[in-house]
Amino acid sequence: MTATILDGKALSATLRGEIDAAVAEFTSQHGYAPAIAVMRAGEDPASVSYAGQILKTFEKRGMTASLHTLPETATQAEIVALVQQLNADPAIHGIMVQEPLPKGIDEAAVKAVLSPDKDVDGVHPVNTGRLAQAAPVGRPAGVAPFFVPATPAGGLEMLKRNDVAISGKMAVVVGRSTIVGKPMALLLMRENATVIVAHSRTPDLAGVCRQADILCAAVGRANIITADMVKPGAAVIDFGVNFVDGSMCGDVDYEAVKEVAGLITPVPGGTGPMTNVMLAINVLEAARLQAR
Residues that bind ligand NDP (CB under 6 A): 151, 174-177, 179-181, 198-202, 205, 218-221, 239-242, 271-272, 275
Q: Which residues pair with 40 in a beta bridge?
A: 69
Least distance from C-beta 135 to ligand NDP, angstroms?
A: 26
Of 27 and 242, CB closest to ligand NDP: 242
Is the separation of the CB atoms in 197 and 173 below 8 Å? yes
The smaller minimum CB distance to ligand NDP, of residues 138 and 203, is found at 203
Whether the ω angle into residue 268 lies within 30 degrees of 0, i.e. cis, is yes
**Closest by Cα among 9, 60, 48, 54 to 36:** 54
DSSP string spanning 81-106?
Answer: HHHHHHHH-TT--EEEE-SPPPTT--
Q: How far is the CB of 167 from ligand NDP (least distance, A)?
A: 25
Minimum CB–partner distance for residue 252 and ligand NDP (Å): 11
Toward ligand NDP, which CB reaches closer, 146 or 239? 239
Question: By C-beta, is 250 or 262 nearer to ligand NDP?
Answer: 250
Q: Quick one: 35 or 267, whose CB is closer to ligand NDP?
A: 267
* Closest approach of ligand NDP to the CB of residue 182, in Å: 8
User: In whole angstroms, how close is the CB of 278 to ligand NDP at the nearest point?
Assistant: 9
Strands (E) located in the chain: 4-5, 35-41, 64-70, 94-97, 170-174, 194-198, 214-217, 235-238, 242-244, 247-249, 263-264
